[in-house]
Amino acid sequence: MPDHPSETSSYTGKLLVAAPAMADPNFHRCVVLVLDHDSTGTLGVILNRALDLPVADVLPDWTGDVSTPETVFGGGPVAPDSALAVGVLAVQADEAPLGWREMHGRVGLVDLDTPAEVLAGALMGMRVFAGYAGWQSGQLEAEVAEGAWLVLDALVEDVVTGTPELLWTNVLRRQVGDLRLLATCPIDPALN
């Protein structure tokens, strides 16, 4: 897939992996799942920023579907007081279950106003995010061109990994060639 989306390509379903030199503290060593990307802009959530806030404290009805660690994640700097849930279907269905809207393949948004029982058994896992990451039209493409982000393929397991703190390193380690080497970059690249 090309690094720059055109009318026929999109970053939807891809991972944005912050380059080691990313200076913006909102995204340092972040892995963002792109939920929607088109000519109007981009919406994603940070997959590796677990907060010290158990889902049971804010959405107790959904604790049965939430993946370990069962905490709310900081989805990004936009609208941090709002909740967004991303769920992974246990199996690809011909018809989307009530309360779930496909974003890419088996990954979709969960309507938290839907009774949790309606989706019981349909999800392999779920994450709840406080806020999201967003870019205006052309903004993300410019950041990718500047080298701030690596656009990489996502695995379903990335969304619900039990070790989100290792996701940045693990995603880079599974790449081929020189990209793999970035996984060994120190937290402060100036110390390298």
Instruction: Tell me: pLDDT of 184 over 80.
Output: no
Model pLDDT, residue 191: 55
What is the arithmetic mean of pLDDT over 165-169? Answer: 96
How far apart are alpha carbons 124 and 30 in whole angstroms? 23
> Of all residues in the chain, what percent carry a pLDDT higher than 90?
80
How far apart are alpha carbons 187 and 160 in whole angstroms? 24
If we measure between CA atoms, which residue out of 61, 77, 56, 74 comes closest to residue 130? 74
Whether residue 25 is preceded by a cis peptide bond, meaning omega within 30 degrees of 0, is: no
Here the tokens at position 177 are: 């060639």
- pLDDT tens digits along 21-35: 888 999 999 999 999
What is the arithmetic mean of pLDDT over 51-64? Answer: 96
- pLDDT tens digits along 114-153: 999 999 889 999 999 999 999 999 999 999 999 999 999 9
Model pLDDT, residue 190: 57
Domains and CATH numbers, the chain: 14-182 (3.40.1740.10)
What is the arithmetic mean of pLDDT over 68-84? Answer: 97
Q: Which residue has the higher pLDDT, 169 or 2?
A: 169
What is the arithmetic mean of pLDDT over 95-105? Answer: 92
